Amino acid sequence: MQINELIKLNKPLILASQSPRRRKLLEQLGFEFEVIPPNAAEKNSRGLPPEELAKHLAEVKAEIVAKQCGSEAIVLGCDTIVVAGDEILNKPVDTKNAIEMLRKLSGKTHTVITGICLIESPSMRKITKAQKTLVTFRELNANEIEAYVGTGSPLDKAGAYGIQDDFGAVFVRRVEGCYYNIVGLPLELLYTTLRTFIDEG
């Protein structure tokens, strides 16, 4: 039995993300869904705390797609941010920026936060949650960092690394919390939130 047999969706499911990693994780649960990437900027200047920022950005993405889909649907919006100390590390703007980020993460523990938002269209009923995971890197040397950045893989990822990558995975010494949250979609949180959302609908 797959999870999609435990949760009976009464409307089509739409993933408001262009991330291939989120698409793969959602497929893993057995759901049929459509992908509609939101036409929205991922930056904001509201000065929100990290967890609230991740939730806000997930809501923005879900709301945009829910308003434009024009039919009944359940829209899933997500946003993942990496927090090192007091600094939020977004996707690097170039290879130099990626190298700087990995140097900051080397030998330290950082926080990965993913916000998820489910919105029902056209009622716009919504529920928003966030998950935190602590990730500790071992000490990285300059050759490792430059070789990894040279693959181009870090350039489309918050914090300039992907734990699911062959190379990025060997940087991680310890994970405290949900692994899938680091990839970009906390599956346990999604399941329980979706179940609550359907039951309350």
- pLDDT tens by residue, 49-97: 999 999 999 999 999 999 998 889 999 999 999 999 989 998 999 999 9
The one catalytic residue among 79, 86, 156, 199: 79
- Please name the residues in contact with 123: beta carbons below 8 A apart, sequence gap of 6 or more: none
CA dihedral 167, 171, 176, 181 (to 10 degrees): -30
CATH number of the domain bearing residue 40? 3.90.950.10
Instruction: Compute the distance between CA of residue 171 and CA of residue 79 in angstroms, rounded to an integer.
Output: 23
Query: Does 122 sit behind a cis peptide bond, omega within 30 degrees of 0 on the bond before it?
Result: yes
pLDDT of residue 70: 80
Confidence of residue 117 (pLDDT cuts 50, 70, 90): very high
| Residue 79 annotated as catalytic | yes
Which residue in 44, 73, 71 sits closest to 56, CA to CA? 44
Residue 199: what pLDDT?
86
Are 154 and 98 in contact by the 8 Å Cβ rule? The answer is yes
Total domains in the chain come to: 1
Residue 158: CB atoms within 10 A of its CB come to 25
pTM for the whole structure: 0.92
Condensed to tens digits (0 to 9), the pLDDT of residues 149-165 reads 999 999 989 999 999 87
Residue ranges making up the domain that contains 34: 3-200
